Amino acid sequence: MEDFWNMICDDSACSSLGGKPFCFDFGVLKDPSSCISHLLIIFLDMLLLIVFTFVIIQKCFLRPIQAQNRVEKYSKLQLVSAITSGCLGLLHLCFGIWILNEKIRKNLTVFPLCLWLLELLWGFTWMLVGLSTSVLPKHLSRTWLRLFSIMIFFVSGVLCGFSLSYAFGSKELSLKVALDVLSFLGAFLLLFSTYKACKYEDTDEEIHGSLYSQVHDDDLINRISVTPFGSAGFFSRMSFWWLNPLMKAGQDKILQDEDIPKLREADRAEVCYSLFIDQLNRQKQKDLSSPSSVLWIIILCHRREILISGFFAFLKVLTLSSCPVILNAFILVAEGNKRFKYEGYLLAISLLFTKILESLSQRQWHFRSRLIGMKVRSLITAGIYKKQLRLSDATRLVHSSGEIMNYVNVDAYRIGEFPFWFHQTWTTVLQLCIALVILFRAIGLATIASLVVIVLSVILNTPLAKLQHKFLSKLLLAQDERLKACSEALMNVKVLKLYAWENHFKNVIESLRIVELKWLSSVLLQKAYSVILFWFSPILVSTATFVACYLINIPLHANNVFTFIATLCLVQDPISTIGDVVGAIIQAKVSFSRVLIFLEAPELNTTVFRKRCYDEKLKGSILIKSADFSWEDSLLKATITNINLNVNVGQKIAICGEVGSGKSTLLAAILGEVPNTKGKIKVYGKFAYVSQTAWIQKGTIQENILFGSPLDAKRYQESLRRSSLMKDLELFPYGDLTEIGERGVNLSGGQKQRIQLARALYQNADVYLLDDPFSAVDAHTAKILFHEYILEGLARKTVLLVTHQVDYLPAFDSILLMLDGKIQQAGTYNDLLTFSQEFKDFVNAHKKTVGSCQLADVTSSRIHSKSNKEMKQHFTKKNLNDIIGDEFIKEEEREKGDTGMKSYLQYLNQKRGYIYFFVSSFSHFMFMICQILQNSWMASSVDNPQVSTLKLITIYLLIGITSIIFVIMRSLFAAALGFQSSENLFRQLISSLFSASMSFYDTTPLGRILSRVSSDLSIVDLDIAFNFTYYVASIMNHYANILVLSSVAWQVLLLCIPMAYVTIRLQRHYNACAKELMRMNGTTKSSVANHVAETYVGAMTVRAFEEEARFVNKNLDLIDVNASASFHSFASNEWLIQRLEVIYAIVLASAALCIAMLPSGTFTSGFIGMVLSYGLLLNTSIVYSTQYQCILANYIVSVERINQYTHIQSDNQEVMEGNHPPLNWPNAGKVEIKDLKIQYKPNGPFVLHGITCTFEGGNKIGIVGRTGSGKSTLVAALFRLVEPTRGKVLVDGIDISSIGLHDLRSSFGIIPQDPTLFIGTIRYNLDPLSQHSDQQIWEVLRKCQLQEVVEDKGGLDSSVVENGTNWSIGQRQLFSLGRALLRKSRILVLDEATASIDNATDLILQNTIKSEFNGCTVITVAHKIPTVMDCNMILSISDGKLVEYDEPLKLMKREKSLFGNLVREYWSHFQFAESH
């Protein structure tokens, strides 16, 4: 050490200290010639030069070279400053060279280095930094300019002050003093010049912006809206300075979505996914034989970021591991073994810089790992979405919408968490290895005992990890099943309410949840066992090591004992997180395998099919030759067979046939949706497709019609006119800009279908595939649509129309009659009528349904009595936007500002949650006390000769065993807290959802609900409880560390008070911003889920219009919005932790400095060792407490979101105790409606205006009216889906509002407008409550004409897939009839039940209802007039008002009768169709 010092400093420099060899007296700082002064300036100069060099390299190589638009101009001040800097640099260089030359000349050596090295470095600093700062201000950011000029000014000022102080004291003036004074003046000039240059640059940018604004406007907007992280420099990134503007904005106001900057381009989902696909293709080209590992591809895509984060992780391990070495040196100093006078001070400063470097490296490691995880999550989500757009129908049976939602919400999230834990695996191993080396130096061969126990701990954890993997896999499978049931039930909640099946389906979901909870309890207990093992292992390691020391006679002293304990404490946290690491890896592995199975599932090849068949010359033609198509992609199970079809350009083809004959499948086959198993198919041109079940997106009417195409005003107006939408748009408050709810809930069935037709027409396609679009509209509208849309609008287009309406068939060029999956007959209307008996039967069935001579007689004489203008006046208002409010779908609710402890208390207030939490927290408190007692015992007795080694170790072991009891209690009670809270929250959520009113479902997108029962509930299940206890434990540890530290260095408390104030301010600053970011993360995640769910339903339409690319782009944008909130959320975590770590590094260094200043012998070395070992944990404890606080604050948002949906406005009571109707109610079926008024919102307009009428028991009542007149609202009122505002409904004398909803709805029968089947079997769909025998069910199937088809498919146990897509819509409607027959209610409601079935099936249904419900009250809402012609009474509604109520014949004879007009319109439409 002495030799090394002499190389730097000579004795003459320390003459004032009496010639002592080591000149560490800080009192000589005022002497500019002292070694300490020289070393300080050399250190600052080198730091300045290194930072400057790094910045210049970054500017040169990491930034694109931009062309200079203007000639650089310099002010006179800049030129003077540059010349001054250059001259000063030369002076210092010359002075340094002269000193060096003198050294060599006199002493023949360059040593000592101090003075000449100082002058050379100072000269280089002035030449490089000073000159560059003066003349290159445009090439450096403003931050760096100011930083460099301030640093030079600071160093020059310090040096000048020292020199002047020395000169006045010694009354001597040297060349060195003169140079220091000149340097200070030059530094002042440089600082002033920099300030003026920055100000000039601001003005210049304003002028330049005004001159070049037209050219650079877009670039400027993009630059402003992108996160500052993209353009941040090295210092800004390392200190998270770039986040300050957002943190300040969060302090000033509540952040909104528009306040969050966009991600930089490299982090966006599109770039990440493209990079992944490019890398995948590259790997496939390298090795065509073996399949590429998706995991390996992801690693290759992010290898650079992984390596950089790995470097920071390595640096963190090194800095952390150096702390016990410093501690050992400190104990030696405390024992009086100093190597030089101020070694204690130097060690304190070293500790400060080591902890700051540790903080910088760890923060960058965590931040960059999270960033990688975010990018991986984005590309996985993008991949899942893109895959679902290409799923074959067979694959959709395996992967339901609920499962896909789970892949997006849960699995992608778990995979995204994995990169954060990845480096933890090898850093823990490295840290253990370094710890073993340190331990070996401290305790020698006893280290082997430590190693053995650590290895045993890892071996014991292996079976636990395998069990956790098994239990977690089972849990996720159970979660999938529960989500599938939730998704199906919530999607069809209206049907459940109409049938009074809510409780049954809720019970089914709860039973699935019980299975899920069984596996959840196993996962939580396994997690608890892992935590117990890894908290137990450090105590076991220390005890085993001390016993080994005793056995092999290694003496225990304060320095080796507390070096050992400090090392063990530092590796205890990494060891204790092994359980979390293993859990995260297992979760990621399970999720990755699930996602991989989905991504490798079979796809449709529609894109390839179209590219192969596309030919410009034959646009609009179709050729199918001897082709078989199978939904199951099987030669043995063809859905439609032997299809031969040749459609020429411009032909109009009608496809008809009975229910389930394969009509819709034929259209799907032409679209390429059904795999072609035999024969050939060629299609030419662009498709437009209108599905049988309307698919409407959330958005405006205009957006739904344009469907991604640019607006052509003329074509758009034409599409609206030909789709009969003009009148409807006039009635909406914002016309075509009116917002439509999810699934078009604020539109009638007819409006939805006409919007679909307008969308198809606007696309100006070559081939139009229309799947029964007229079934949802009334006869008059159907007539207009057929004439203006089909015959005129599509006059030169190829049209294939599936229809049950025989009226239009004569107008088609060719008709295909389908039967049992085959084209039975093909030809013109007249040819088929002449030669095909099946077609004759089909037409005759229609004529029977059209009706009697009385219809013809009444209408024939007055068929033209109404002008077209008069008919159009009957269009009625359907303005639910006014009813529900201007904004039908409301913005997702989220908490605002600081909600304090509200959400935490909500979580704990679940079934003894407070007790579990208190016991868990108290157990950790006792564990912490035991640890302090254990270490205090060791500190006080280790060097006490009166205490034997055996006694020392025995008492240490007993205290350790006591502490383990508390660890076990803490972990088990944390698991119990997680289980009970999760169970209770789910029960509240599901009860609230199933009792919610229909208005909630009408205004809430399904994705919002599903995100709560999937991702939010998954976080509540697995994450919150343990993180809650970890957070409380880390807070206790932190304050315990401060108390132990202050017990020796009480002066630290004086520093802790201002530091605590700064900490609180920082946390408030952080919380204001971070909480909103976390909430935005939740709401934007719901937007992604909504889009995924919406696209899943409409995937066929999206593919038909070839809009996949647009939908993928929209999904990528939504992913980026969510990722941006997530990115700034975890960046803000690191921002806070880094600042807190620096604060507590200062506290630790101050404590160490205080201890160094204590007189020798004040405290024993054992106590000093213990205190500093706790002090070393200060940073770790503040990191963990802040980290767990951030994680918990993020997770608790899930509790907030779940709690929002546990307080939904509910329906009235299911059952009213003491007010049940009689057992045989209703027995007569008499319905009395008295002054019934209904409004959907308290301040909204009335939808029904005082309807009063009586339906006599046993009568058949027909309810008619135009689209949106209020027919369905009246039906909803009968079932109390909407409660009366005024008036009442009596059934057999009982007010339906006075009885429970379940009693009411289970007593009525209904065949709803939209037929719904649930996943399961035919038996389950007809009789989910298991109230009927198989014989009764078969009898009902026979009556519904479904017996044969059910037998062919495997009987009552034949499967029904999601949404019943393996059965036609007509068959689904007949199953709905079957449900009504099984229930045998005295009151049956048919809500446009025959809209989607052919005339023959309609006739069967009507005859079945007549025979089976003879003597019952049948209320029929219908568009088809013949359906209500045999009713006893007709109720006509217009604008929510009762227009007329009388017998059909009387109404038809009445002047200006609405029903009469509807009958004449229908008959007119029938004769019009036949004339064509």
Quick one: which of 1080, 1085, 976 has its CA closest to 1028?
Answer: 976
d(CA 1350, CA 732): 45
Which tens digit of pLDDT belongs to each residue from 407-439? 888 888 888 888 888 888 888 888 888 877 877
1023 vs 9: which has the higher pLDDT: 1023
Mean pLDDT of 134-154: 64
Residue of 976 and 1048 predicted with greater confidence: 976
Q: Of 237-246, 268-277, 1261-1270, which gets the smallest average pLDDT?
A: 1261-1270
Question: Which residue, 351, 146, 359, is CA-closest to 239?
Answer: 359
Q: Report the residue count for the chain.
A: 1476
User: Which tens digits make up the pLDDT trace of 744-786?
Assistant: 777 777 888 899 999 999 998 989 999 988 877 777 788 888 8
Indicate the pairing of strand 622-629 with strand 739-740. unpaired
Q: What is the C-alpha separation between 216 and 658, in angstroms, rounded?
A: 64
What pLDDT is attached to residue 1470?
56
Sign, Cα dihedral of 937, 941, 947, 950: positive
For the beta carbon of residue 1385, count every other beta carbon within 10 angstroms: 19
Q: Where are the alpha helices (DSSP H) in 302-342?
A: 303-334
Lowest mean pLDDT among 165-174, 240-249, 503-512, 652-661: 165-174
> Does the pLDDT at position 68 exceed 60?
no
CA 1473 to CA 1476: how far, in whole Å? 5
How far out from the chain centre does Cα 1340 lie? 46
How many helices (H) and strands (E) in the chain?
53, 23
**CA-CA distance, 917 to 445, in Å (whole number)?**
43
Instruction: Tell which residue, 114, 156, 162, 151, has the closest CA to residue 129.
Output: 151
Cα–Cα distance for residue pair 1062/1155, rounded to 1 Å: 24
**C-alpha–C-alpha distance, residues 232 and 61, integer Å:** 15
Using only the alpha carbons of the chain, give its radius of gyration.
Answer: 41
- pLDDT > 90? residue 591: no
Q: What are the tens digits of pLDDT across the range 840-869?
A: 887 877 666 655 434 444 433 333 333 333
Q: What is the pTM of this model?
A: 0.67
Q: Of 42-51, 104-113, 139-148, 1380-1389, which one has max mean pLDDT?
A: 1380-1389
**Which backbone phi and psi does 683 adopt, to 5 degrees?**
-125, 145
Instruction: Compute CA distances 305 → 54, 73, 311, 667, 1080, whole Å.
Output: 19, 40, 10, 49, 27
> What is the average per-residue pLDDT within 108-125?
65
- Which residues fall within 8 angstroms of residue 368, CB to CB, at 6 or more apart? 305, 308, 309, 312
CA angle 984, 986, 989 (to 5 degrees): 110
Q: What is the pLDDT of residues 981-999, one digit of tens each?
A: 899 999 999 999 988 888 8
675: pLDDT strictly greater than 80: yes
Sole residue written with tokens 């007819």: 750
CA angle 411, 417, 422 (to 5 degrees): 125
In the chain, the N- to C-terminal Cα span, in Å, equals 111
pLDDT value, residue 845: 72
Could you give the angle at which helices 412-443 and 447-491 cross, rounded to 10 degrees? 170
Strand order in the sheet with 1294-1295: 1246-1255, 1231-1239, 1286-1291, 1294-1295
Q: Is the peptide bond between 112 and the residue preceding it cis, with omega within 30 degrees of 0?
A: yes
Phi/psi of residue 1311, nearest 5 degrees:
-115, 100
DSSP secondary structure, 839-906, as one string: HHHHHHHHHHHH--HHHHHHHHTTTTSS-HHHHHTT-----HHHHH-S-SSPPPP---S--TTHHHHH
Q: For the segment 881-927, what is each residue's pLDDT rounded down to a tens digit?
A: 343 344 455 555 555 555 667 788 888 887 788 899 999 999 999 99
Task: Return the top range by mean pLDDT from 95-99, 199-203, 813-817, 1157-1161.
Answer: 813-817
Residue 1032's Cα: distance from chain center in Å? Answer: 27
| Secondary structure element (H or E) that encloses residue 637, with its range | none
Main-chain dihedrals φ then ψ at residue 765, nearest 5 degrees: -85, 180
Mean pLDDT, residues 593-606 taken together: 82
* Rounded Cα–Cα distance for residues 863 and 352 (Å): 98
Helix (H, G, I), strand (E, B) or coil at 1097: helix
Which amino acid, one-letter code, is at 1009?
I
- Judged by DSSP in three states, 698 sits in coil
Over residues 1113-1124, mean pLDDT: 92
Q: Which SS3 state, helix, strand or coil, does residue 1263 take? A: strand
How, if at all, do strands 798-802 and 652-657 pair? parallel
The whole-angstrom separation of Cα 640 and Cα 679 is 12
Residues 1287 and 1308: their CA atoms lie apart, in Å, by: 21
Q: Give the residue among 95, 120, 187, 197 at the shortest CA–CA distance from 148.
A: 187
Q: What is the rounded CA–CA span in Å between residue 1317 and residue 1220?
A: 30
8 vs 1189 pLDDT, higher one = 1189
Q: Which residues have a Cβ under 8 Å from the Cβ of 1253 and sit 6 or more positions away?
A: 1233, 1435, 1442, 1445
Predicted confidence (pLDDT) at residue 1119 exceeds the cutoff of 90: yes
Burial of 623 (0-12, 13-18, 19+ CB in 10 A): middle
Q: What's the rounded Cα separation, in Å, for the pair 403 and 410?
A: 10
Q: Please report the beta strands in 536-621, taking only residues with DSSP state E, as ranges in sequence order.
A: none
Question: Which residues, 6+ apart, have CB-to-CB distance to 1330 below 8 Å?
Answer: none
482 vs 1151 pLDDT, higher one: 482
CB 1437 within 8 A of CB 1277: no
Locate tokens 């007055």: which residue? 862
Token output for 1450: 């009387």
| Token pair in block for residue 825 | 């007959």
The CA–CA distances, whole Å, from 783 to 780, 807, 1465 equal 5, 10, 9
Q: Which residues contact 512 (CB under 8 A, 6 or more apart)?
A: 478, 481, 482, 485
> What percentage of the chain reaches a pLDDT higher than 70?
80
Mean pLDDT of the chain, nearest integer: 78
pLDDT at 689 over 90: yes
CB atoms within 10 A of CB 1053: 14
pLDDT of residue 877: 34
Report the candidate in 277, 250, 270, 251 with the shortest Cα–Cα distance to residue 261.
Answer: 250
Q: Which two three-digit tokens encode residue 1105? A: 């219009």
Rounded-to-integer distance, Cα 820 and Cα 234, Å: 72
DSSP string, 1138-1204: HHHHHHHHHHHHHHHHHHHHSPTTSS-HHHHHHHHHHHHHHHHHHHHHHHHHHHHHHHHHHHHHHHH
At 142 the pLDDT is 63
Helical segments of 171-243, H only? 175-225, 234-239
